[in-house]
Amino acid sequence: MSIQRLSDLLIDQIAAGEVVDRPAAALKELLENSLDAGASSVQVELQSGGVKQIKVSDDGAGIARDDLALALARHATSKIASLEDLERVASLGFRGEALASIAAISHFTLTSRAADDQHAWRVESDGGRTSSPEPAAATPGTAVEVRELYYNTPARRKFLRTENTELAHCEETFTRIGLSRPDVALTLQHNGRALQRLPIQSFTQRCTALLGEEFAAAALALDHGTPGLRLHGLIASPSFNRSARDYQYFFVNGRCVRDRLIAHAIREAFHDVLHHERHPAFVLFFDIDPARVDVNVHPTKSEVRFRDPQAVHRFVFHALQNTLAQSRAGAGAMPVAADAVTTPVAMFAASDSAGFAGTYARQQPMQLTARHPTALYEIMFAGSAAPTIRDDVPDTAPPPLGFALAQLSGVYILAQNQAGLVIVDMHAAHERIMYEKLKSALDRSEIPTQTLLIPATLRASRLELAVVEENAPALQRLGFEMAVLGPEALVVRSVPAPLQDADPIDLARDVLREIGEFGASRVLQERRDEMLSTMACHAAVRANRALTLPEMNALLREMEATDRSGQCNHGRPTWTQVALSELDRMFQRGQ
Ligand code: ADP
Ligand code: MG
């Protein structure tokens, strides 16, 4: 094919692929335009999850008649005019491509009345052709109506999921915008039914309305500033934590962003007070001189780049750490995760003399006299044959990882093998074993399920419900059986057999969130290992869980039988060997 210029319509449709990947993305652009126009009240009306219709009406500045067509043109914006403007941009929009992109893939109507006009004007656009303005009746402000999104881009339309899923994403967008601007009244309607009605209210009231009473009750206020930087908002005290990263809203200069650096600073600040598999909840606003942050990194503007990332990291970390520390020193109001305060040392050494001085062979009776393997023992290794413990060990090859002696600090298993001392990070090792089990089960076809004796019910979001409705086969492959119980409830009936010890609700939430965010096929393919690793982490023995010697030995035997068990899922070692000769050196024996 010879080289040709793309038509304007095709260019807009290509851009739309990036900017408007789903109805919620179009909604975000329209809401941002309303806020940029100074609106104090914005109404959203959706039909069929936004696929059939997204209508956003505001009472903002409006657009003059002669600018209407321009508003729909690509690279036309009233918000910046120069590179200097871009470098200091304070508005949410500035690329001038949202309306053009949306109009290129929908039946589009723009009605607007500037403050000092007698009446409104309306333009329509269909497949990229814009009509000339016609008079219309409307109050001052702007209304954008987007109908049949993707009607002319069938490939993109195929990626749309059900009404409920798309609606859930639209609600998430609405929540983000709502949290960022409590000074703007917002309503959300779907298929004629009101879902949210938010008056102009205080920030705390807005958080309560959107995130619930529980969050608000646990919230600690934070306001921390140095010249040119300010961090303010609410963080939930660690007692209110989540199994998923859902209640995490971070706004940079009013724009909701996902940023690794920030996420890391926040995780570090919560490190001491939150179990590492739980996630903090927060709504935080970070205000920084626009010249010190680049928002033009991605067409959807959901990423930013800081000019001085180290300084930002330090600032966010310290602001949070201070707030958390102050709340702790106060009325003792802050419950700390239970596992952070339990006795640091739990020794479950053998009752006889088979300690470090015991010989290898003398340990054997310990294996055999273990009388009460706990439920954990069965749970940990359900489905796999229990490791056989032979009483003729002195005649056979000793197991490489030896036999357990004790548990140290609730974290490590100490064992003795022929070379000397073996130290095992029990959580990391168990997690790896679980992960490998899940992987090989899924490779074979699907993960075996275990029906729960008592099904677990949970309050579910619309997105979670939609994911369950739409993904039964994928969930089954992962070992789950779940069903919708009502408009806000789910039941988990079965969980993956290797994970039957995990909290089924936390487990289900994580899996639903992954599928909701990435879709079942990605979760089962390119994101498979991540998903399985998250699942494994739920089931792995927690720190400070007292293990009996048979349990510890069972874990050692499983490690020996498991591929790649030398590293945990995150690449850290799961065990280490301290040779007798090293110990001898430490004690200057034989010198
Ligand atoms: P951008 O927001 O990046 O400028 P858009 O394509 O979203 O680009 O919008 C183009 C222009 O249309 C905006 O710069 C603004 O002047 C005008 N506009 C869009 N929506 C509204 C609105 N709700 N109220 C007033 N003006 C609007
Ligand atoms: Mg815009």
Report the separation in Å between the CA atom of 61 and the middle of ligand 2, taken as the mean of its atom positions: 14
Residue corresponding to tokens 């640091």: 344
Pick the atom of ligand 1 nearest to 91's CA.
2
Stretch 111-123: mean pLDDT:
94
346 contacts: CB under 8 Å, gap ≥ 6: 407, 409, 410, 544, 546
Report the separation in Å between the CA atom of 54 and the middle of ligand 2, taken as the mean of its atom positions: 15
- How far, in Å, CA of 591 to CA of 585, rounded? 8
Smallest-distance ligand from the CA of 38? 1
Q: Taking the CA atoms of 515, 239, 484 and 23 in sequence, report the sign of the dihedral they define.
A: negative
Report the separation in Å between the CA atom of 15 and the middle of ligand 2, taken as the mean of its atom positions: 14
Of the candidates 347, 350, 345, 325, the one whose C-alpha atom is nearest the C-alpha of residue 336 is 325
Stretch 540-563: mean pLDDT:
86
Of the candidates 172, 49, 23, 29, the one whose C-alpha atom is nearest the C-alpha of residue 513 is 172
pLDDT confidence tier of residue 54, bands split at 50, 70 and 90: very high
> Max CA-CA distance within the chain?
101
Stretch 14-25: mean pLDDT:
82
Stretch 241-246: mean pLDDT:
73
pLDDT confidence tier of residue 340, bands split at 50, 70 and 90: very low
Beta strand spans in 277-329 (E) = 282-288, 293-294, 305-306
Pick from 240-254, 255-269, 359-373, 408-422 the range whose average pLDDT is largest: 408-422
Q: What percent of the chain has pLDDT over 90?
A: 45
Residue nearest to atom 12 of ligand 1 (CA): 71
Pocket (CB within 6 angstroms of ligand 1):
29, 33-34, 37, 58, 60-63, 71, 76-79, 93-100, 142
- How far, in Å, CA of 157 to CA of 179, rounded? 30
Report the separation in Å between the CA atom of 93 and the middle of ligand 2, taken as the mean of its atom positions: 4
Residue nearest to atom 19 of ligand 1 (CA): 33
pLDDT at position 91, please? 82
CATH number of 446-539: 3.30.1370.100
pLDDT at position 353, please? 30
Out of 27, 33, 72, 184, give the residue to mutate to test ligand 1, the one with the largest number of ligand atoms within 8 Å of its CB. 33
390 contacts: CB under 8 Å, gap ≥ 6: 396
CA triple 24-28-29, angle to 5 deg = 120
Residue nearest to atom 23 of ligand 1 (CA): 34
Contacts for 209-216: CB closer than 8 Å, 24+ residues apart: 209/178, 210/175, 210/178, 210/179, 211/175, 211/179, 211/247, 211/281, 211/283, 214/240, 215/240, 215/247, 215/281
pLDDT at position 591, please? 66
Smallest-distance ligand from the CA of 101? 1
Residue nearest to atom 13 of ligand 1 (CA): 77
For the ranges 71-85, 102-116, 252-266, the lowest mean pLDDT is seen at: 71-85
pLDDT tens, position by position, 183-239:
999 999 999 999 999 999 999 999 999 999 989 998 999 999 988 899 999 999 887
Separation in Å, CA 383 to CA 375, 386, 434, 445, 485: 14, 9, 12, 16, 30
Report the separation in Å between the CA atom of 84 and the middle of ligand 1, taken as the mean of its atom positions: 20
Separation in Å, CA 206 to CA 202, 209, 211, 245: 6, 5, 8, 20
For residue 197, count other CB atoms closer than 10 A to its CB.
Answer: 12
In what order do the strands lie in the sheet containing 282-288? 219-226, 229-236, 282-288, 248-252, 255-256
Report the separation in Å between the CA atom of 98 and the middle of ligand 2, taken as the mean of its atom positions: 5
Report the separation in Å between the CA atom of 87 and the middle of ligand 2, taken as the mean of its atom positions: 17
pLDDT tens, position by position, 143-169:
999 999 989 888 777 777 788 889 999
Report the separation in Å between the CA atom of 245 and the middle of ligand 2, taken as the mean of its atom positions: 28
- How far, in Å, CA of 412 to CA of 258, rounded? 35
Across the chain, what does the average pLDDT equal?
Answer: 83
* Structure-model confidence comparison of residues 542 and 126, the more confident one: 126
pLDDT confidence tier of residue 500, bands split at 50, 70 and 90: confident
- Token readout for 565 is 């068990």
Residue nearest to atom 20 of ligand 1 (CA): 33
The third-level CATH classification (topology) of the domain covering 353-428+546-586 is formyl-coa transferase, domain 3 (3.30.1540)
pLDDT tens, position by position, 373-413:
344 444 444 434 334 444 444 456 788 999 999 999 888 99
pLDDT confidence tier of residue 344, bands split at 50, 70 and 90: very low
pLDDT at position 391, please? 42
Report the separation in Å between the CA atom of 377 and the middle of ligand 2, taken as the mean of its atom positions: 58
pLDDT tens, position by position, 252-276:
999 998 888 898 899 888 877 777 6
CA triple 410-415-421, angle to 5 deg = 115
Out of 27, 29, 31, 36, give the residue to mutate to test ligand 1, the one with the largest number of ligand atoms within 8 Å of its CB. 36
pLDDT at position 557, please? 92
Pick the atom of ligand 1 nearest to 77's CA.
14
Q: Is the pLDDT of residue 462 over 90?
A: no
Smallest-distance ligand from the CA of 95? 1
pLDDT at position 388, please? 42
The phi, psi pair for 266, rounded to 5°, reads -70, -45
Amino acid occupying residue 197: R
The third-level CATH classification (topology) of the domain covering 8-197 is Heat Shock Protein 90 (3.30.565)
pLDDT at position 76, please? 83
pLDDT at position 276, please? 67
User: Exposure of 177 by Cβ count < 10 A (0-12 exposed, 13-18 middle, 19+ buried)?
Assistant: buried
Question: DSSP 3-state assignment of 578?
Answer: strand
pLDDT confidence tier of residue 301, bands split at 50, 70 and 90: confident
Residue nearest to atom 21 of ligand 1 (CA): 33
- How far, in Å, CA of 209 to CA of 203, rounded? 10
Report the separation in Å between the CA atom of 283 and the middle of ligand 1, taken as the mean of its atom positions: 27
Smallest-distance ligand from the CA of 63? 1
In what order do the strands lie in the sheet containing 420-425? 403-408, 412-417, 420-425, 575-579
State the pairing for strand pair 41-47/185-190: parallel
For the ranges 89-93, 223-227, 349-353, 574-578, the lowest mean pLDDT is seen at: 349-353
* Structure-model confidence comparison of residues 15 and 139, the more confident one: 139
User: Exposure of 275 by Cβ count < 10 A (0-12 exposed, 13-18 middle, 19+ buried)?
Assistant: middle
Report the separation in Å between the CA atom of 296 and the middle of ligand 2, taken as the mean of its atom positions: 13
Out of 99, 108, 111, 113, give the residue to mutate to test ligand 1, the one with the largest number of ligand atoms within 8 Å of its CB. 99
For the ranges 49-58, 88-97, 332-341, 518-527, the lowest mean pLDDT is seen at: 332-341
- Kindly tell me the number of DSSP H helices and DSSP E strands found in the chain: 21, 23
Smallest-distance ligand from the CA of 37? 1
Q: Is the pLDDT of residue 334 over 60?
A: no
pLDDT at position 315, please? 94
- Token readout for 577 is 């060997």
- How is the chain split into domains, by residue range? 8-197, 205-325, 353-428+546-586, 446-539
Pick the atom of ligand 1 nearest to 99's CA.
6
CATH number of 205-325: 3.30.230.10
User: In this structure, are residues 120 and 112 in contact, taking their beta carbons and an 8 Å threshold?
Assistant: yes
